Amino acid sequence: MGKGRDKELIRLRDRELLRRYYQMTEIERKRFDDTVRILSREVFFISEGRIIEIIQKYYNRDDYKQQEEL
Whether residue 24 lies inside any domain: the answer is yes
Asked whether residue 26 is assigned to any structural domain, the reply reads yes
Asked if 21 and 55 touch (Cβ cutoff 8 Å), the reply is: yes
Domain count, the chain: 1
Question: Could you read off the pLDDT of 42-54 as tens digits, one per residue?
Answer: 999 999 999 999 9
Tell me which residue range forms the domain holding 48: 7-65
**Does a structural domain hold residue 43?**
yes
More confident residue, 67 or 60: 60
The verdict on residue 32 lying in a domain is yes
Contact predicate 21/58, CB 8 Å: no
- Mean residue pLDDT of the chain comes to 88
The whole-angstrom separation of Cα 14 and Cα 1 is 22
Residue 44 confidence (pLDDT):
97
SS3 category, 45:
coil
In a domain, 15, yes or no: yes
